[in-house]
Amino acid sequence: MPHAMTRRRLLLGAAASLGGRDPTGPGPSLAQAARRAGRDYGAAVRMDYLRRDADYRRAVLFECATLTPEVELKWAAIEAERGVLTFSEMDELADLARTHRKRIDGHTLLWHASIPAWAVSDMAERRDWGPVSRYIQTVMPRYADLTARWDVVNEPIAEDHGVDGLRASPFLAAFGPDYIRRALETARAAAPHAKLAINDFGFERDTPIDEVRRRRLLRLLGDLIKAGAPLDIVGLESHLDLGVKRLPAERLAAFLREIAVRGLAIHVTELDVKEADYPLPATRRDERVAQAVKSYLDVVLAQPATRSVTTWGLTDRYSWLEVTPADLARFPNDWKDGSSPGLN
Ligand code: XIL
């Protein structure tokens, strides 16, 4: 697969800023390279792919110190039916991690996009914290030996101006803005030794709404700290988008300083790249992706509060980023012969 090899080498080249690996030859794993720079490296993985694809499994186990379950820990995956807990996928991933001495990143407890349907209506009708806290209290201790950190609240900041800048989620509707502090308290009680995170996306973008979102996040952090909430980490998803203007380096660095001065650690939790210029030759496309990752990580890793980098997947063999009809519609003169731009 020459195409995949090129991409892999470019990714490794970009990741060399994690700690110095020769991208042209054999060298340390990404995890080892990161460790030399005092950081952790990991990737989001899926048990169904690990089970059936030996190459993928070998690459994951070689490159990663931490594994982030892409879907297996989400509430909708664990408790699709009220009170019926399905741990089989996550338990298998946990066993794999134990066997190979990997850590698991606990992703994620409260996320608006992964609430079981029964819980959505239950929260709306009864405003009862019970099901939320039972889920937290069940999953956190079960994997306590593997998980040093958890994404407790995922994507709480609104993508528009929202209700006071917070996402209009079932959690906000049922419990008010205090649900974030409450979730952190519940998580701390369930896993006293784990570091607890708020995780969100888009802070690297230079758009008016993302400027509002950055300010809203900082205000939320200040409020939580003032309220004594057990918060340790801000997770920056870092889904880079080549079609969206990126914040200049100094402004990104200043934003990271604002997080660091509040005493919080920074983790890059979901790094990947959505392409824009699909008609370019594959090598140019790969260069653009690598360049975007390198210029981003150069800034983020210059901040001492940054502790880890997790890529959202390890290979473009399996990616949640698809080339969509809308992407193709932007290039009406290409692929008329029925060919395609390939993978994102
Ligand atoms: C995505 C997974 O990659 C998909 O496989 C799944 O269908 C939906 O969730 N932000 C997050 C992640 O915090 O949990 C999301 O993962 C991607 C966006």
Active-site residue, from 72, 79, 89, 270: 270
Q: What pLDDT shows up at residue 3?
A: 44
Q: How far is CA 287 from CA 30, 113, 245, in A?
A: 19, 33, 17
CB-based contacts of 244: which residues, under 8 Å, 6+ apart?
205, 206, 207
Residue 135 CA to ligand 1 center (angstroms) comes to: 19
Q: What is the pLDDT of residues 175-189, one digit of tens each?
A: 999 999 999 999 999
Between the CA of 113 and the centroid of ligand 1 the distance, in Å, is 9
In sequence order, the 6+-apart residues with CB closer than 8 A to the CB of 11 are: 289, 290, 293
Ligand 1 neighbours, Cβ below 6 Å, are 70-71, 154, 237, 270, 320
Each residue of 80-91: b (16+ CB within 10 Å) or e?
A: eeeeeeebebbe
Question: Known catalytic residue: 63?
Answer: no
Specify the residue with its C-alpha closest to ligand 1, atom 16: 70
Query: For 52-105, how does the pLDDT look when each residue is reduced to its tens digit (9 = 90+)?
Result: 999 999 999 999 999 999 999 999 999 999 999 999 999 999 999 999 999 999
Cα-flanking dihedrals φ and ψ of residue 49, to 5°? -75, -40
Q: Is 270 a catalytic residue?
A: yes
Nearest 5°: phi and psi at 116? -60, 145
Which are the contacts of 245, defined by CB distance < 8 A and separation ≥ 6? 205, 206, 207
Q: Pick the catalytic residue: 89, 155, 185, 237?
A: 155
What pLDDT, on a 0 to 100 scale, did the predictor assign at position 339?
Answer: 84
**Ligand 1 atom closest to the CA of 312, numbered from 1:** 3
Q: Whole-structure pTM over 0.85, yes or no?
A: yes
What confidence tens digit (pLDDT) does each residue in 297-339 have?
999 999 999 999 999 999 989 999 988 889 989 999 998 888 8
Helices marked H in the chain: 2-15, 30-36, 47-52, 54-63, 75-78, 88-99, 117-126, 130-142, 170-175, 179-190, 208-226, 249-260, 282-300, 325-329
Across 199-232, b (16+ Cβ under 10 Å) vs e yields bbbbbbbeeeebebbbebbeebbeebeeeebbbb
